[in-house]
Amino acid sequence: MNAAVFRPDDDRIADAVALLDDLGAVPVPDPMLAVDPTGAIPRGDGAVVVVTSKTGVELAADSGWTPGGGRLAAIGPATADACREAGWTVDVVPEEYTSAGLVAALDGDIDGARVEVARSDHGSAVLTDGLAEAGAYVHETVLYALTRPAGAGDSTEIAAAGDLDAALFTSSLTVEHWLAAARER
């Protein structure tokens, strides 16, 4: 079975390829996301700091930034693990690993509080709008942009030829990028 995988061209695609190999599939690596750091650094005065990805944590930590004295909220366990690896204490991980789940986990605790949200340029308004509706003063720092790498889309040609058995999408943005690559080719 040929299976296309669209992770960024780093350890994430290498891990996905290794897993597909272990499962007996033929990996078709076709990175549909590139991480382009903005160089921005989150503010340090938040009563609550929200991080939404392992990548964001790594970029913030590499810049020397720390969450300071505020409570730290991570959108899910992988992000929380990255926080802990950076030496940060995680105070909140929602039961539902989504923007809405994070808002629900913080609702009732943030009225009048400054909340710093550190994430990608493709973050959902559900998070920032929901925090604001819960009474928080929200500041967002865009740590990185998610772009489509030049040359991405080899798997679209394999699919068009009828030789692709599976496509493993990890986000709506990878779907959008794959479809754009298919249209261009």
| Same domain assignment for residues 93 and 178 | no
User: Which tens digit of pLDDT belongs to each residue from 55-102?
Assistant: 999 999 999 999 988 899 999 999 999 999 999 999 999 999 999 999
Do 106 and 118 share a domain, yes or no? yes
Q: In the prediction, which pLDDT does 69 show? A: 86
pLDDT of residue 94: 96
Q: How many domains does the chain have?
A: 2
Average the pLDDT over 122-130 and give the result. Answer: 94
The tally of CA atoms less than 13 A away on the side-chain side of residue 98 is 8
The structure tokens 């930590």 sit at: 61
How far from the centroid of its chain's Cα atoms is residue 53's Cα?
4
Torsion of the alpha carbons at 120, 122, 125 and 127, rounded to the nearest 10: -40
**Residue 97 and residue 102: Cα distance in Å, rounded?**
7
- Region of 162 (left: φ > 0; alpha: ψ -120 to 50; beta: rest) is left
Q: How far apart are CA 55 and CA 113, in angstroms?
A: 26
> How far, in Å, CA of 94 to CA of 104, rounded?
8
Antiparallel, parallel or unpaired: β 26-29 and 137-147: unpaired
One domain, residues 62 and 7: no
Shared domain for 19 and 47, answered yes or no, is no
Same domain, 8 and 45: no
CB atoms within 10 A of CB 83: 25
Strand 114-120 to 166-168 pairing = unpaired
pLDDT band, very low/low/confident/very high, at 44 (cuts 50, 70, 90): confident
pLDDT for position 105:
96
By three-state DSSP, how is residue 56 classified? Answer: helix
Q: Are residues 59 and 26 in the same domain?
A: no
Asked whether residue 40 falls in the same domain as residue 94, the answer is yes
Residue found by looking up tokens 């929380």 in the block = 80
CB under 8 Å to 183, separation ≥6 — which residues? none
CATH number at residue 101: 3.40.50.10090
- Give per-residue pLDDT as tens, 134-177: 999 999 999 999 999 999 999 999 999 999 999 999 888 999 99
What pLDDT is recorded for position 1? 93
137, 166: one domain: no
Is the pLDDT score of 26 beyond 90? yes
The predicted model gives 177-184 an average pLDDT of 95
The whole domain housing 44 covers: 36-145
Range 15-36 average pLDDT:
96
Mark whether 158 and 112 lie in a shared domain.
no
pLDDT for residue 33 is more than 90: yes
| Domain shared by 90 and 156, yes or no | no
- Does one domain contain both 14 and 101? no
CA distance 74 to 102: 8
Same domain, 47 and 137: yes
Burial 135-146 (b: 16+ CB within 10 A, else e): ebebebbbbbeb
Above 90 in pLDDT, residue 133? yes
Mean of per-residue pLDDT scores for the chain: 95
